[in-house]
Amino acid sequence: MSFQVFGIPVSRGVAIGRAVLVASSRVDVAHYFIAPDQVEAEIQRAVRARDEVAHELTALRDDLPEDAPHELAALLDVHLMLLHDEALTGATKQWIVDRHYNAEWALSAQLEVLARQFDEMEDEYLRERKADLEQVVERILGALAREQGKAPVDASSVVQRDFAGEDPLLLVAADIAPADMMQFKRSVFHGFITDIGGKTSHTAIVARSMDIPAVVGTREASRLIRQDDWVIIDGDLGAVIVNPSPIVLEEYRFRQRQSELERARLARLRHTPAVTLDGERVELQANIELPADAAAAVDAGATGVGLFRSEFLFMNRNGELPSEDEQFEAYRAAVEAMKGMPVTIRTVDIGADKPLDRMSASELRHEHVLNPAMGLRAIRWSLAEPSMFRQQLRAIYRASAYGKLRLLIPMVAHLSEIRQVSETLKRVQQQLTDAGQAFTPVELGVMIEIPAAAVMLPLLLPHVDFISIGTNDLIQYTLAIDRADEAVAHLYDPWHPAVLQLIASSIGQARAAGKSVSVCGEMAGDPAFTDLLLAMGLRNFSMHPSQIPSVKQRVLRADASRLAEALPQLLESPDPQRTAALLLTSKRGNTPMQ
């Protein structure tokens, strides 16, 4: 039966494929693909874990005292029966063989299939056996975790599979942790669907960075969609169509082909300089997360890296921080890959939606109790961990000897934070000088993502070389909206007058002070805001490489001076989005807005 689920569209386009469910579990489950030559070994892992659990259950049953209730022995027999049931063990093996899932993922995928079958049984006694099945599976997952020493999966080990001739896969989950997203980023999924999240949740950002359709905040998708269902993701409307009819399927396949043709057309702009109709040069830079992403930035025609999110070097490491040398090699690789173009490295922004598994028990406890977006994160965490912070800064400065580097400090709200950073930089430079390490001058910048920073910008500007406006958090903090919470996602409004006035004021003050300014939040990569940001005087945009062609097209068709004439009226409007549609259209160059 065909049905639809609706959510928040966060990455445009159409994706068609079979659903892959990542089910929630009380036991942490690693999700990754294995290489073809690892299939048999992975099956044996599952078999050994099952046999270990069978031995445990048998020993428990055999050791029951004589006066133990008969029901207890019967329950253990039920668990043993479920443990050896071909519907569980045989199908788990098939997931490993057919999909190349790791054993944990295969087992949890089959649990999801069987659990739904139990839910549909009319007999109440049989329905309640689902709890027994879950207990058995969690015992097996526990055995698998013990065998692995609970070691996380190294992102570099995730296998790139060639699915030529096979059905495309779409990932469906209640939510996807950033660490998992970094693994799936190197994987085979053609689209994402999650129950929770908003337009700037991490899942949404990564989906856009991969240039694949995604719908978040569906609330019920992971419960309603079954493993292997045929699914269409309409990333433009925020619709998910499950088991579509042949007519609907063909219509969406046509839209897919049209989208591919448009991408190919835009790709021809790659080497065209981004210059407005009135001759204003605009820098279109890239946001990256790992050094390997720099190649895509160059290929897309980026004129530099406006945001290197260094925190992703700290993830999936089982609590171990990257060494100074390891960070240095990563930063140097990114700098060298950009071939002389500038690279802006943001110091580690751990916290909020990107917790670090190394955090202490007390910090993790606070992460669950309090609002992590307003807790010990970003520069606050760095200043609280001075040894770690100095290590990162040394690595960045060492990499500066290989190209143009800029240093960006996130979540600044106090002038004292910049002063502490400056003192730390002096100490780091002296350490490198004493050690005979080469480095070159590094420009210092701050992110404007807290309203306090935007309001006190005149006090900050004398102490920095540039600013970068992080619109995602700036909107979140200005409007008091948790951007990952779908319950209030409709209130997350980039067009809110207060947001626009803070952005326009920050750009204007930086330019008046002779300091460079960029926008590296999601607004920079959204063509709907290109004209508006040009009108505000922005000449440096930073976005994911996949978004550069469409933004460049808007720049090439814009007359910046004429757009600027419309800005005062727009900022005074109670409905900026509607006003922008009218004013900016009338102030564009001869080519109409598209």
Binding-site residue set = 309, 346, 449, 472-473, 483
Catalytic residue among 31, 100, 520, 544: 520
| Binding-site residues for Mg(2+) | 449, 473
Instruction: Provide the CA 424 distance to its chain's centre, in angstroms.
Output: 30
Longest alpha-carbon distance in the chain: 92
- HSE-CB at 146 with a 13 A cutoff on CA atoms is 11
Known catalytic residue at 202: yes
Residue whose pair of structure tokens reads 């080469």 in the numeric block: 438
**CB 435: neighbour CB atoms within 10 A?**
9
Known catalytic residue at 368: no
Determine the 3-state secondary structure of 281 from DSSP: strand
Cα torsion 373, 330, 159, 204 to 10°: value is: 30
d(CA 561, CA 542): 21
Which residues, at least 6 apart from 230, have a Cβ–Cβ distance to it below 8 Å?
16, 17, 18, 19, 242, 243, 244, 249
Cross-strand pairs, 16: 232
Q: Which of 188, 183, 148 is nearest to 171 (CA)?
A: 188
In this structure, which long-range contacts are made by residues 572-575, counting pairs with CB atoms below 8 Å and at least 24 apart in sequence? Answer: 573/497, 574/497
Q: Which of 507, 501, 561, 497 is nearest to 531 (CA)?
A: 561
| Binding-site residues for phosphoenolpyruvate | 309, 346, 472-473, 483
DSSP letter, residue 313: G
Contact at 8 Å (CB) between 323 and 302?
A: no
Alpha helices in 20-167 (DSSP H): 39-62, 70-84, 86-99, 103-119, 124-148
Contact at 8 Å (CB) between 284 and 541?
A: yes
Catalytic residue among 100, 202, 271, 414: 202
Name the token pair of 194.
């999650």
Contact at 8 Å (CB) between 499 and 547?
A: no
Altogether, the residues listed in the chain come to a count of: 594
**CB 60: neighbour CB atoms within 10 A?**
14
Instruction: Provide the CA 99 distance to its chain's centre, in angstroms.
Output: 24
d(CA 223, CA 22): 11
Cα torsion 574, 552, 471, 566 to 10°: value is: -20
Residues tagged active-site: 202, 520
